[in-house]
Structure 1
Amino acid sequence: MSGSPEPDDHIGSCDRPPEYAADTELGARVQTRETRVRDALLTDFRTAIRVRSGTTQRAADELRLYVVHRGSWILQYSGSRLALPGGRFMVQRATGLTGFETSPQTAGATIALPAGAVGSHAGDRSISGSAVTPEVRLLLAHASLLHDTIDELTDHGIGAARNALIELTRGVMYRYVDGTEPALAPALATAARELADQWLTHPDLTPSLLARQLHVSIRTLSRAFADTGESVAAYIRRRRLEEARRALTAGQTVSEVAARWQFADSSHFIRSFRRRYDQTPAQYARNRQPS
């Protein structure tokens, strides 16, 4: 059994797209990507404008993890409203959820799964915290992988992916993930790549820094990259060169590009660029100029 990351028009719900409340701005659409992994549902969403909607009553044993990357999300429960700002996550049972409201330019994700699979008392009380902890990064990285690869997985692979999803959700709730677990290696490598991409201009970006940020040893991180055919350091080097090449196309000078993307000096940048692209940065920039 597999899911498909087809776009749809709803968020935080396993139902068909809900009708938006009357005061939702005209033309409101929520861009979503959904993937079902057996008894779990993963949803990424973003909206450019404010959206309000009701939702049907959910099963008492459904656990929801909400993450807001930017903007804000207000969840309406029977008798209460819970505000979740950008950069935060919350885990809670879906019992009593009656609706939601998002501010303009909101982006986030939800993971819905049976509470009993996570733990007998999972979700009995709300858990919230920073969305950039190592545990949340690993969970979101795993979810991203599932969105991209679910249709390529065998039935056994889907079962393993679902079990890893449960384990990583427990990690978020209890603030601990065993990074040495082989099944979590793809998520660890993905989380490290995403973190590296955010810090490519950081002068102290190294494999050791990434390992510390993800609360694993450098050896564990290196093992996670082993199946990718590229070391952590090689990934950082390649991504810096790719961004440097893009900057050259935008008209920046060789010295400016070398400094921004953390090459020791212009000579080092030129050597690295030539080794990868078989031409110097200056030659590349000239060839990209309109005739």
Structure 2
Amino acid sequence: MSSAGVKADVAGDTPSGNPTLPGTAPQPFDAFRSGWETEIGDGFPLPTFSPATTRDFRVRSRATKVGDVAITDLHGASAIRTEGPLVGVEDQVRMYVVRRGSWALGAPLARGEQTVPAGQFLLRHVGRPLHFETVPDTTAKVLVLPSTMLKPLLGARQSVAGPADSAEVRLLVAHSNMIYETVAGLGPAGVQAAHSTLIELVKAVARGGVDDAEPQLAYALAQAAKDLAETHLADPELSGTMLARELNVSVRNLQRAFAAAGESVTAYIRQRRLEEARLALTAPSGRPSVSELAAYWQFADSSHFIRAFKKHYGRTPTEYARSALPAEN
């Protein structure tokens, strides 16, 4: 595999977006194609898109390459469709994680082809070129993977499908998102570690289970727990036990994953709740009271909240809110 990772924003210039490539071409699709071919395309060529797609190309995308794996996150306000002759053979495993809209393999759909609806994933071996088509407002993550280690795990059907919020997919998504943030600064050993962890997590998706005791997966596990915690910060049930249950791992191994980064699950949850409370105190209007914040962010009482806030920020909530008031002339 390559010893270097590549990260690129390859978005078209949508009406509400920004051109993100140096030397952006006049047309959104031209900018997208140029960025892809320059940064990602080696070994991962773009398919032939339909004229309707290239004329009305309203797509935001980011992509990264780590060795022989490409990861693309895409949101298409417009529909995307490929067409034209399909020649040659392919030997890849691809994974589609669809959050909104749908992703159809084969356009128009032929017998035996598949559609991945919102909230689902599909992991499948691709032995021949396929067209694809999305509906407007589709949000998806697509991974292109080497088949050597993964194809045997897919069984006779050569595909695995299931819910996008399964524990294994959550871990994989968390790790791929971390790759976006770190790959540009990784050396050869870091790229190898990021690649190996990614492959192991794809294997876990194929098997329907992850070895949560594997030290290599600790950072992905901790990040997946943090991502999940973000959606439950005001939930009174939020705890290490709840996160471990949702991620289908042991509490002990989740705690070990956080400890590897010098954190604890409990401390992380408290820190995030305090951060959200602090933001509420700086709101220009409609600020909640200290007692309301304490109750909403699941502190035992106002006194407990005040002590925790002052320990973290050096001031009581009331003092912090007063300091955030605009200065009077």
TM-score, scaled to structure 1:
0.90
Q: Does 1:274 align with 2:315?
A: no
**Cα 1:65/1:272, change in 2 over 3 Å:** same
> Structure 1 stretch 219-228 or stretch 58-67: which is displaced more?
58-67
What are the within-5 Å matches in structure 2 for residues 24-173 of structure 1?
24=53, 27-54=56-83, 59-76=89-106, 79-80=110-111, 81-120=113-152, 122=154, 124-173=157-206
**Cα 1:19/1:61, change in 2 over 3 Å:** closer
Which residue of the partner structure matches residue 2 of structure 1?
4
Q: Which amino acid aligns with 2:278?
A: R
Q: Which amino acid aligns with 1:122?
A: L
Q: Which amino acid aligns with 2:100?
A: R
**Cα 1:71/1:3, change in 2 over 3 Å:** same
Give identity over the alignment, percent. 43
TM-score, scaled to structure 2:
0.80
What are the within-5 Å matches in structure 2 for residues 164-243 of structure 1?
164-243=197-276
> Structure 1 stretch 281-290 or stretch 38-47: which is displaced more?
281-290
State which of 287, 299, 302 in structure 2 corresponds to 1:252. 287
Q: Which amino acid aligns with 1:180?
A: A
Q: Which amino acid aligns with 1:264?
A: A
DSSP-derived class of the 1:204 partner: coil
Q: Distance in 1 between matches of 2:98 and 2:322?
A: 43
> Structure 1 stretch 120-129 or stretch 167-176: which is displaced more?
120-129
1:59-78 alpha-carbon deviations (Å, 9 max, x no partner):
43200010012222222267
Q: Distance in 2 between matches of 1:44 and 1:179?
A: 26
Q: Distance in 2 between matches of 1:101 and 1:88?
A: 16
Q: How many residues align?
A: 291
Q: Distance in 1 between matches of 2:272 and 2:89?
A: 44
Q: Distance in 2 between matches of 1:168 and 1:193?
A: 17
Q: Distance in 1 between matches of 2:251 and 2:292?
A: 31
Q: Deviation at 1:51? A: 2.7
Gaps of 5+ in 2: 11-31
Q: Distance in 2 between matches of 1:252 and 1:25?
A: 47
Q: Which amino acid aligns with 2:304?
A: H
> What's the C-alpha RMSD, in Å, of the aligned pairs?
2.5
Q: Distance in 2 between matches of 1:120 and 1:23?
A: 38
8 Å contact 2:61–2:72 — kept in the other structure?
A: yes
8 Å contact 2:89–2:128 — kept in the other structure?
A: no
DSSP-derived class of the 1:98 partner: coil
1:34-67 alpha-carbon deviations (Å, 9 max, x no partner):
2212111111112233333348667432000100
> Structure 1 stretch 191-200 or stretch 212-221: which is displaced more?
212-221
8 Å contact 1:118–1:167 — kept in the other structure?
A: no
8 Å contact 1:58–1:94 — kept in the other structure?
A: no
Q: Which amino acid aligns with 1:30?
A: V
**Cα 1:51/1:280, change in 2 over 3 Å:** same
1:178-213 alpha-carbon deviations (Å, 9 max, x no partner):
010111111111111111111101110011111111
Q: Distance in 2 between matches of 1:97 and 1:129?
A: 23
Which residue of the partner structure matches residue 24 of structure 2?
none
**Cα 1:2/1:58, change in 2 over 3 Å:** farther
> Structure 1 stretch 15-24 or stretch 78-87: which is displaced more?
15-24
DSSP-derived class of the 2:5 partner: coil
Q: Which amino acid aligns with 2:7?
A: P
Gaps of 5+ in 1: none
Q: Which amino acid aligns with 1:5?
A: K
DSSP-derived class of the 2:182 partner: helix
8 Å contact 2:82–2:133 — kept in the other structure?
A: yes
8 Å contact 1:58–1:95 — kept in the other structure?
A: no
Q: Does 1:283 align with 2:312?
A: no
